[in-house]
């Protein structure tokens, strides 16, 4: 009997448990707490946290690659191919395209400048990553965290340096879940009370023809200019065309609900599952976490500073708070601009004005990812 118990113990995960596994399990439990009880973007954080938990339970072998052609790998190994092959991020952008309203951007094209200015975090973090000793390809992957859209960061990293997917994915999605805490202090710090109180005039009406033509034209221009952007921009604009055309309601409904939720679960779970103790607990990961935070902060600062410039040029007709929505986290960043605007002036309504820069930020981040891949891709 004792021999049987010894064999069971020797073959159990408890016997193989190390202090590194324990640390990662604790980290996973903390993230589960933040997602489940503190409501920090649970749709992203909860699958990631559970993926980290599964990856760090010894001998489960869920991420085990097959050792020979006829061998069977772990479940999460096969699901993870959706990340390494760029499938999950592209499908998620199909759903994002359905929920994105480009009307405010079409009505005020100058919002493109706010979306461009909010890419400042990408530039700053790229330079700092190079200074810290990362290669150009690694620096580009890390810098993409500044786009404040984990899907784009994961997609670019899968192309440039797949080994960085664990820290880049966890860092990007973790900061996305904390965007409600990161952005507002800097938005208030940079702007004056008078600027935050500024009320904006109503946007012009955008015709259905304009909304239908927009995704087609953007797809043609972006893909011809940067072919590497085709998977993300193509799926984004296809989703938007499904919505704006109104011809296939069942497809648009599926894309923005069932499909995007299923893919988000798989993406989060498998991204988290790459964060095992062997490749995650390192000084490199700590640097990526720090650089990711810097990227998030400077993206917010860049958008708000350009918003202040537009406010000055238009003599107060632009509220600088909408500049923070120039990041690519749609539509959460626009909601934050609306919330901060109403705190300063309860009668202020900035949501539709902020949607424009927010949509521009999505397009801008995809374009930047295409530029980085063109420069540093293998």
Give the 3-state secondary structure of 203-235. CCCCCHHHHHHHHHHHHHHHHHHCHHHHHHHHH
d(CA 269, CA 272): 5
pLDDT digits (tens, 9 = 90+) for 166-193: 889 889 988 888 899 999 999 999 999 9
Overall average pLDDT of the 160-168 stretch? 89
Could you tell me what percent of the chain has a pLDDT over 70?
Answer: 100
Q: What is the pLDDT of residue 245?
A: 87
Greater confidence (220 vs 34) lies with 220
Between the alpha carbon of residue 243 and those of residues 193, 278, 372, the distances in Å are 38, 44, 30
Q: Give me the domain span that covers residue 156.
A: 83-376
Overall average pLDDT of the 239-267 stretch? 86
Kindly indicate the confidence band of residue 378, based on its pLDDT and cuts at 50, 70 and 90: low
Q: What is the pLDDT of residue 377?
A: 82
pLDDT digits (tens, 9 = 90+) for 342-358: 999 888 889 999 999 99
Overall average pLDDT of the 64-77 stretch? 84
In a domain, 235, yes or no: yes
In a domain, 8, yes or no: no
In a domain, 12, yes or no: no
Q: What is the overall mean pLDDT for the chain?
A: 90
In a domain, 47, yes or no: no
Closest alpha carbon to 307 in 203, 214, 200: 200
Overall average pLDDT of the 117-146 stretch? 95
Q: What is the pLDDT of residue 296?
A: 92
Residue 241's region, left for phi above 0, alpha for psi from -120 to 50, else beta, is alpha
Overall average pLDDT of the 369-376 stretch? 93
Residue 3 has pLDDT above 70, yes or no: yes
In a domain, 46, yes or no: no
Cα 361–Cα 365–Cα 369 angle in degrees, nearest 5: 170
Kindly indicate the confidence band of residue 288, based on its pLDDT and cuts at 50, 70 and 90: very high
Q: What is the pLDDT of residue 165?
A: 87
In a domain, 272, yes or no: yes
In a domain, 57, yes or no: no
Q: What is the pLDDT of residue 299?
A: 95
Could you tell me what percent of the chain has a pLDDT over 90?
Answer: 63
pLDDT digits (tens, 9 = 90+) for 187-210: 999 999 999 998 898 899 999 999
Total structural domains in the chain?
1
Residue linked to tokens 């069971």: 8
Residue 41 has pLDDT above 90, yes or no: no
In a domain, 119, yes or no: yes
């Amino acid at each position: 009997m004792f021999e049987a118990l010894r064999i069971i113990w020797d073959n159990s995960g408890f016997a193989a448990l190390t202090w590194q596994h324990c640390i990662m399990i604790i980290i996973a439990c903390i993230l589960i707490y933040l997602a489940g009880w503190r409501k920090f973007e649970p749709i992203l954080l909860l699958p990631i946290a559970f993926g980290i938990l599964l990856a760090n339970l010894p001998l489960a072998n869920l991420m085990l690659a097959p050792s020979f052609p006829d061998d069977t790998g772990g479940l999460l190994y096969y699901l993870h191919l959706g990340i390494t092959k760029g499938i999950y991020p592209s499908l998620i952008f199909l759903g994002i395209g359905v929920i994105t309203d480009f009307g405010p951007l079409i009505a005020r094209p100058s919002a493109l400048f706010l979306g461009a200015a909010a890419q400042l975090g990408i530039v700053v973090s790229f330079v700092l990553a190079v200074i810290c000793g990362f290669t150009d390809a690694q620096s580009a992957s890390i810098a993409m965290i500044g786009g404040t859209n984990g899907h784009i960061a994961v997609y670019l990293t899968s192309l440039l340096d797949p080994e960085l997917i664990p820290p880049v994915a966890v860092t990007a999605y973790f900061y996305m879940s904390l965007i409600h805490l990161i952005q507002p202090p800097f938005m208030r710090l940079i702007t004056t009370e008078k600027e935050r109180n500024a009320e904006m005039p109503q946007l012009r009406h955008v015709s259905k023809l304009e909304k239908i033509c927009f995704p087609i034209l953007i797809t043609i221009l972006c893909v011809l200019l940067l072919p590497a952007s085709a998977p993300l921009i193509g799926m984004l604009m296809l989703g938007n065309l499904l919505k704006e055309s109104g011809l296939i309601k069942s497809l648009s409904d599926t894309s923005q609900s069932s499909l995007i939720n299923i893919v988000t679960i798989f993406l989060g779970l498998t991204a988290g599952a790459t964060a095992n103790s062997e490749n995650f607990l390192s000084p490199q990961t700590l640097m990526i976490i720090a650089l990711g935070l810097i990227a998030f902060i400077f993206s917010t600062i860049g958008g708000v500073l350009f918003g202040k410039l537009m406010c000055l040029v238009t003599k107060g007709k632009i509220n600088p708070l909408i500049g923070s929505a120039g990041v690519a986290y749609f539509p959460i960043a626009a909601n934050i601009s609306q919330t901060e605007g109403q705190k300063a002036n309860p009668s202020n309504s900035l949501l539709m004005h902020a949607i424009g820069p927010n949509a521009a930020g999505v397009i801008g981040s995809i374009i930047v990812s295409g530029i980085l891949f063109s420069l540093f891709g293998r």
